[in-house]
Amino acid sequence: MSRETGPVEAGGGDGVEANTRRLEAGIETDFSDKMSYGSYLALDTLLSAQQPVSGHHDEMLFIIQHQTSELWLKLMLHELRAVRLQLASDNLRAAMKGVARIKHIQRSLTEQWSVLATLTPSEYAQFRGELGSASGFQSYQYRAVEFMLGNKNAAMLKVFEANPPAQAMLAKILAQTSIYDEFVQLLARRGFAVPAELLERDVSKAHVFNAELMEAIRVVYESPDDYWDLYEACEELVDLEDNFQLWRFRHVRTVNRIIGMKRGTGGSSGVGFLQRALDLVFFPELYAVRTEIGN
């Protein structure tokens, strides 16, 4: 091709430039009275929800990071509700299918921290003061996920007094069985020696380690061929908790990387407060039993 002739046209000179894909005849182009991709996803609403309060370039990253996390948390809650119902209905296979999906959601949430970690301390300092008292600690969806996994804490409801719908949603979940409560009840229905106090306990409080329950779970682990679906379910739940702890750890490290040991915008001690969450366990018997296997 010479400089004078310009780009070679594809299709024998039909007006479509080289290296350009032509539209096929059947592709829709008129959406004046049809639902489009953008209208189905409400993209005008979604993409207008990023409203920086400072003029700093990096605030957009900060907002999108947290908004996308909230979308993933919404989906996780959707799946956890289904898992809880499936366990209550003795449909263990369907419940574990839901757990498998949740694990992939957790992976996406954890990987997102690497994007936020590109925010340097000096960049964040340019707009951190504009956030006021806003903090991820106030994420009611995150708190709902913790409640559904079993980390119940009624004191957290006070944080949401200014948001009655969120507080009501959390109060409802607080009063319901967690997915671990439902798994324990399923074990009892299968004939395992689950102590009565666990089946009748106050489910608004966090589950704590029970030695008798661990012994029941030990039976599953020592005879996996006899209880394969339960054995597999135990390991899926361990994956779920491991993933959650990994998310917590990445959170701590990212916060430490960006603000060091400063106090959180929501009034917490910051990194120290987040680190203490790593000591909280959802399914303690599933970890404790590992010490007993083979003894």
Q: Which residues are annotated as a binding site for heme?
A: 251
Interval 93-143: pLDDT, tens = 999 999 999 999 999 999 999 999 999 999 999 999 999 888 888 899 999
Interval 254-287: pLDDT, tens = 888 988 888 777 778 778 877 887 788 999 999 9
- Which residue has tokens 């915008």? 265
Instruction: Indicate the SS3 state at residue 14.
Output: coil
What H or E segment, with its residue span, contains residue 11?
none
CB neighbourhood size of 51 (10 A): 8
Residue pair 98/79 in contact (Cβ under 8 Å)? The answer is yes
Rounded to two decimals, the pTM is 0.89
Beta bridge partners of 9: 17
**Which of 51, 47, 248, 72 minimizes the C-alpha distance to 131?**
51
Mean pLDDT of the chain: 91
Per DSSP, 29 falls in state -
Task: Work out the pLDDT band at 9, boundaries 50, 70, 90.
Answer: very low
Residue pair 270/128 in contact (Cβ under 8 Å)? The answer is no
Tell me which of 22-26, 151-155, 269-273 is least confident: 269-273
Tell me which of 7-21, 145-159, 165-179, 244-258 is least confident: 7-21
Q: Which residues are annotated as a binding site?
A: 62-66, 124, 128, 251, 265
Interval 158-214: pLDDT, tens = 999 999 999 999 999 999 999 999 999 999 999 999 999 999 999 999 999 999 999
CB neighbourhood size of 178 (10 A): 24
Angle between helices 164-174 and 140-149 (to 10 degrees): 10
Beta bridge partners of 17: 9
Beta bridge partners of 16: 10
At 14 the pLDDT is: 56
Domains of the chain with bracketed CATH: 54-292 (1.20.58.480)
Q: Which residues are annotated as a binding site for substrate?
A: 62-66, 124, 128, 265
How far is residue 66's CA from residue 70's CA, in Å, rounded to a whole number?
A: 6
Strands (E), the chain: 9-10, 16-17
Residue pair 143/277 in contact (Cβ under 8 Å)? The answer is no
Q: Name the token pair of 29.
A: 């182009």
Per DSSP, 258 falls in state H
How far is residue 275's CA from residue 251's CA, in Å, rounded to a whole number?
A: 9
